Structure 1
């Protein structure tokens, strides 16, 4: 079968013992779609193929044994609950210990260099190794530098890993409360010392990637959770998520669907913040007197503040982005005021 469009990759799926069809799938480099090139064996309709692809298996939480298996299944079932100890104190202790070891090695190196001050061995590594070989010993300087190299590699690796660990997100209050509540109700671990890690809140890190509107998303998700309606849960949770557990107190929601709802709400807020001040300023500037112009400027200031507050609360915009967006929003409103004022003055003239 020939195609007029180029293909860049071919994925071949062989048949198994059950006699399933062998499908050669080609990836269209232009459209990015999958095209069935050839079907060998029992012919399946597209509906049957789609139904087979959608067939998935989810192991519910209640099927895991109580203990570490259940806790691991719970924490891996949702990125919000991927909460673990960071051991920042132990990282600091190891770094300080290596730091002092390197300090001692540094002092030893300085002593060896002072002993050989004025000799040619300090100016040539080759001469230093040759002198030690002639003496039938290993060069103290070379041996010490080898130890320093090993310690420095370990020190640098731990420093870099600690910096990366400090960049991890801390669990939000909402995620920590949910995890702590489940832990209290289920009590998966039997020993008191093994379950103490959940109480070290200041040392916990989350593996969850921050979303752009994580705080606002959490608020919307909390509101959805408070609505005890099966229709709402079916809208915001896929079948795979609903099959994860039969516990009525544990709910899973699709992040993509939550983000779509949040995007719709923020779009509506932006529309209101753009339309309302324009309408209000048009009503005021159409009067054409001096006081109405000052009132329009007051509306501009108020809505600019509202826009800045909305950006800081609903998004994770950086400071320079917040300044730039607020300035652009204010400039747009100023253009509207000037245009309306000019139209009002022409009509009065």
Structure 2
């Protein structure tokens, strides 16, 4: 005979088994979901890390490329001495290679000669202008005296004193000659109308202006050259040593400028530290301690 209580117990066990299986399924689902989220999070982290590594790598490559370009741009252009033939090419290559060798003639004497020449030429023109002004101002003719007080009157008087061309004979038998002369006369009148005749005073002033502008230019350039620095003893001696070891120029006359220390200038700019260096050198020479080279940065 079957026990009536056995069936409920079996049912309870079945229910518990189903509940256990359901719980295990839910745990598996949660574990699967957790595993998926973990993998997704790891993939995201790895992807971001890879992007950062790529960005750092690209930036590093760009920086290296920029450094290489800057190094190329900063690299000085250098050539071998053998690239220049001996003579003026080699001499010019040396003196243009550094400011220390940029030493050239000042030609102070020639500047003075040119200035004196232009000065005396202007003096002559000045005297001629003064004599012309005096001649017109002391004239008994009122029209001549007006030429000093009015530029327009001076030009009008010059036009009035223009020589008159010969009158052409209308009765000339040769018509072709007659027409040719009239054509020449017409061309002359047209040229005179285009460019009025200058008075003697105006022509003299125009010449004075040209000479004066040239004189001023020479004076200004001479003044600028006077501001250039003289080469130091070391710079001058270094240039002489290099030259006399190389003997680039074959003519004694042409290389004479190297020995003319009194007439040499340098294109090297003088900084304040350079002036202090020179002062220290002179002081040490006075104190009897010799010469040294000082560099102040």
Give TM-score scaled by structure 1 length: 0.49
Q: Which runs of 5+ in 2 are unaligned?
A: 1-59, 139-144, 163-196, 281-292
C-alpha distance in 2, partners of 1:200/1:110? 44
Q: For residues 4-43 of structure 1, what are the structure 2 equivalents within 5 Å?
A: none
Query: Measured at CA, do residues 110 and 47 of structure 1 come closer, stay the same or move farther in structure 2, by a change above 3 Å?
Result: same
Matched residue, 1:164: 224
For these two proteins, the number of residue pairs brought into alignment is 184
Deviation at 1:45, TM superposition (A): 2.4
Matched residue, 2:18: none
C-alpha distance in 2, partners of 1:70/1:167? 29
Q: For residues 172-251 of structure 1, what are the structure 2 equivalents within 5 Å?
A: 172-214=232-274, 217=277
Matched, 1:47 2:101: no
Matched residue, 2:12: none
Query: Measured at CA, do residues 113 and 97 of structure 1 come closer, stay the same or move farther in structure 2, by a change above 3 Å?
Result: same
SS at the partner of 1:210? Answer: coil
Give TM-score scaled by structure 2 length: 0.58
Alignment partner of 1:100 out of 113, 120, 125: 120
Matched, 1:145 2:205: yes
C-alpha distance in 2, partners of 1:192/1:86? 19
C-alpha distance in 2, partners of 1:209/1:106? 41
C-alpha distance in 2, partners of 1:139/1:125? 9
Deviation at 1:189, TM superposition (A): 0.8
Work out which of the two has the higher radius of gyration on C-alpha atoms and give 1 or 2.
Answer: 2
Matched, 1:81 2:101: yes
Q: Which runs of 5+ in 1 are unaligned?
A: 1-42, 221-257, 264-349
C-alpha distance in 2, partners of 1:155/1:218? 36
Matched, 1:262 2:296: yes
Greater per-residue helix proportion: 2
Structure 1, residues 147-178: CA drift from partner, whole Å, max 9, x if none? 00000000000001001111110001110011
Could you say which structure has the greater relative contact order, defined with CA pairs below 8 angstroms and 6 or more residues apart? 2
SS at the partner of 1:213? Answer: helix
Q: For residues 104-143 of structure 1, what are the structure 2 equivalents within 5 Å?
A: 104-118=124-138, 119-136=145-162, 138-143=198-203
C-alpha distance in 1, partners of 2:227/2:65? 46
Cα RMSD, aligned residues only: 2.4
Q: Are the counterparts in 2 of residues 174 and 218 from structure 1 also a CA contact under 8 Å?
A: no
SS at the partner of 1:46? Answer: helix
